[in-house]
Chain A
Amino acid sequence: MDVEVNVGELVALLNQTLDYAYPSVTVVGELANLRVSKGKWLYFDLKDDTSSVKFFGTVYMLPGPLEDGMLLKVAATPRLHNLYGFSMNVQSIQPAGEGSIKKAAELLQAKLAAEGLFDEARKRALPYPPKRIGLITSSQSAAYADFIKILTARWGGVAVELINVQVQGEPAPRQITAAIEQFNALAEPPEVLVLIRGGGSAEDLAAFSTEQVTRAVAASRVPTLVAIGHEIDLSLAELAADQRASTPSNAAELLVPDRRHELRVLTDYRQQLGRLLQQTVSDGRQALTIAGERLHAAWQQLSADELQSLRLKRQLLSAYNPESALSRGYAIIRSEQQLHTRVAQLQAGQKVTINLQDGQADATIDQIRPKKVL
């Protein structure tokens, strides 16, 4: 069938055919002529030994910094532009093959490190033990099962909130990033975000070294703990996390104490409390004994002083005892129990009693001679 069309119609017709035949194609090839225009538009070629095809997209599709020569896996739709000819419109770009994945990760790591995303100073301490954990992983994975098993064996009372995500494949970075943002956007976010995935090939783990996921981990307001793959695997998300664990099981071990250990500590505490109380009581008893001794000493001092003062007073008193005057040659004269101190109290012929130091004598007054008053 011979069809006559104008140029615009030809472009439309070819695009329609391409759309129908190839809604999306994933092409693997070596990157060449990578170019960014106006900070937004992305141009590059994918080539192999025999062919080269032009690709067009935006910089937002870049998984990170890329270099010519890297092997890429690019999802794109074929399109004929009405002025610039044929190109593939990019939907997503991923490094392909161990070498390229490693190279891409190195380039991205250098770029993000230069921005300070992995700085030690940014690392925050995780709450220990946390009351609420936001868990991001695949609920079907061994990593999830291991994490929950170890967590449950070690500790209780933790609320685990899970967002189930794909941990590999093309949607993984978007889903993981969205889950991190979703937890952060909660009115009451969990105390810690845990991002885990079990072991796998470099390609399987690639999502956790993408710029998108690494930046989301670094930007999380909720502190993060990331464990990807085995001990030897180190993803960029782990570098950006507040804490890294070697495996999902290790993540559970780092998050919560072991209840058996805590129980032993509590038993020690119980004994320690008893000992400390006893110590306080015996300290108190000792203080009491010392106080008693001081009281006794003070009393003795006081009573000795008092005795001395009493002795002095007794001496003083005895000096004033009239009886003691008799021994010095004085006499006391009484009549009918009345004491006579003046001759005016006497009259001639009156009977009196004279008291001397060793006895009494009765006498009669013969004559009274008062002193002459001048």
Chain B
Amino acid sequence: MATKKTDYRTLSEELDGILSRLQSGELNIDEAMPAYERGMKLVKELEAYLKNAENRITELQATLQD
């Protein structure tokens, strides 16, 4: 159930941000609840990425031919 634009780095950075905001204790419950839900969604997406994403290998035609 990975999102269409799976970009591990971006999602992972967002998750780190959510964790540090929650850790700072600056969020009230109204803010903490959606942050938690978003965080759990990110964890799921990142796990799905790690389990499902495959590498794509293509060969470019070299401009220089000997």
A281 at the B interface (CB under 8 A)? yes
- Chain A residues contacting B22 (CB-CB under 8 Å) are 273, 276-277, 280
Asked whether A156 lies within 8 Å of B40 as measured between CB atoms, the reply is no
The listed residue (A157, A159, A182, A276) touching B36 by CB distance below 8 A is A276
User: Which residues of B1-38 are within 8 A (CB) of A?
Assistant: 6-9, 15, 18-19, 22-23, 25, 27-29, 32-33, 36
Contacting residues, chain B, for A161 (C-beta < 8 A) = 58-60
Q: How many A-B contacts are there with CB distance less than 8 Å?
A: 111
Residues of A within 8 A of B9 (CB): 127-129, 131
- A266: interface (CB < 8 Å): yes
B36 closest partner in A (C-beta): A277
Known contacts A156-B49, A273-B19; A281/B29 CB under 8 A: yes
What's the dominant secondary structure at chain A's contact region? helix
Report which residue of A155, A182, A273 has the largest number of chain B beta carbons within 10 angstroms of its beta carbon.
A273
A284 touches B15 (CB 8 A): no
Instruction: Specify which of B15, B28, B36, B52 is in contact with A156 (CB 8 Å cutoff).
Output: B52
| Contact of A283 with B63 at beta-carbon distance under 8 Å, contacts A156-B49, A162-B57, A259-B50 already known | no
Q: Write the chain A residue with the least CB distance to B15.
A: A269
- Tell me, in angstroms, the Cα distance from A128 to B13 when the chains sit together: 12
The residues in A between 145 and 186 inclusive whose CB is less than 8 angstroms from any CB of B are 148, 151-152, 155-166, 171, 174-175, 178-179, 182
Most A CB contacts (10 A, CB to CB) among B8, B25, B32 go to B8
Q: Given A148-B57, A182-B62, A284-B28, do A277 and B15 touch, yes or no (CB 8 Å)?
A: no
Is A158 a contact partner of B55 (Cβ separation < 8 A)?
yes
Distance of A104 Cα from B39 Cα, bound (Å) = 57
Q: Is the pair B50, A163 in contact by a Cβ cutoff of 8 Å?
A: no
Contact call A160/B60, Cβ cutoff below 8 A:
no
Contact across chains for B50 and A171 when beta carbons are under 8 A apart: no
Q: Which residues of A contact B51 (CB under 8 A)?
A: 259, 263
- Docked-complex contact A175 and B62, CB < 8 angstroms: yes
> Shortest distance in angstroms between A288's beta carbon and chain B's nearest beta carbon?
10
User: Taking CB as reference atom, which chain B residue is nearest A130?
Assistant: B9
Chain A window 125-151, contacts with chain B (Cβ cutoff 8 Å), 1 for yes, 0 for no: 001110100000001000000001001
Query: For B29, B47, B63, B64, which residue has the most chain A Cβ atoms within 10 angstroms?
Result: B64
Which of B6, B32, B63 lies in contact with A280, CB distance below 8 A?
B32
A351 at the interface (CB under 8 A from B): no
Given A263-B50, A280-B27, check contact A272 B19 (CB 8 Å). yes
Contact A262/B63 with A158-B55, A280-B27 known, Cβ cut-off 8 Å? no
Cβ contact within 8 Å between A157 and B47: no
Q: Taking A159-B56, A270-B43 as contacts, is the C-beta distance between A179 and B19 under 8 angstroms?
A: no
By a beta-carbon cutoff of 8 Å, the part of chain B in contact with chain A is: 6-9, 15, 18-19, 22-23, 25, 27-29, 32-33, 36, 39-40, 43, 46-47, 49-60, 62-64, 66
Which A residues lie at the B interface, using CB under 8 A?
A: 127-129, 131, 139, 148, 151-152, 155-166, 171, 174-175, 178-179, 182, 259, 262-263, 266, 269-270, 272-274, 276-277, 279-281, 283-284
